[in-house]
Amino acid sequence: MEGDVYLNQCMMKKQIWLDDKKYLHND
């Protein structure tokens, strides 16, 4: 179960990072 929580956190961080990259490219 702990692994799932860790994986979910990584996925959320990756999604946020991808969103940040998109915003930077839109600039």
Q: What is the pLDDT of residues 1-27, one digit of tens each?
A: 688 998 889 888 988 888 888 777 665
**How many contiguous H segments (helices) and E segments (strands) does the chain have?**
1, 0
Q: How far is CA 23 from CA 3, 11, 12, 17, in A?
A: 30, 18, 17, 10
Residue 7 structure tokens: 């994986």
Amino acid in the structure at residue 5: V
Number of domains the chain is built from: 1
Q: Say what the pLDDT of residue 27 is.
A: 55
Q: Which domain holds residue 8?
A: 1-27
